[in-house]
Structures are given as C-alpha cells and as structure tokens.
Amino acid sequence: METLIVQPKDRKQLTAIKAILKALDVAFKKGEENDSLYLSKSVANKKALDKSIKQAEKGQTVKIGVADLWK
C-alpha cells in the first residue's frame, strides 16, 4: 500500500486528521522531522542555516565546553 505524508497547518487540523484516521481504522505513526528540513522552511532560517554550513565547511567553528553552555 502507499504511504502518505500529511502536513497539517495547525493543531486543530492535526486533531481532525487523527480522528478521521482512527475512525477509518487506518494505522498511522508520528514521523521524525529532520532538523535541517524544519529550519529551512522559512527564508530567513534557510539563509542562516546555509551560512552556518558554509562556515563549518571552512572550519570557522567554535567549540564550547559543556560547563560553559549556560554562561
């Protein structure tokens, strides 16, 4: 059978879709969202992500120790 990827716009749509699938006895599961895909959904985030990837490729990174994360 086919697999469908459904992308509800909000919580209300998600709730309705789940109710319909349950009523039709259709199996479904929550998929894992790729962080890069999620971040690249908006133009501003995509630009920032692309810039960060280019910086990392050039070795322009900074290491932060675990003890310094919340300072």
Cα 50 to chain center, whole Å?
A: 16
- Cβ-count burial of 1 within 10 angstroms (0-12 exposed, 13-18 middle, 19+ buried)? exposed
Amino acid occupying residue 21 = L
pTM of the model: 0.46
Given this model, what pLDDT does residue 56 score?
95
- Rounded CA separation 23/19 (Å): 6
User: What tokens were used for 52?
Assistant: 């960060």
Residue range 19-41, pLDDT digits in tens: 999 999 999 988 777 777 777 77
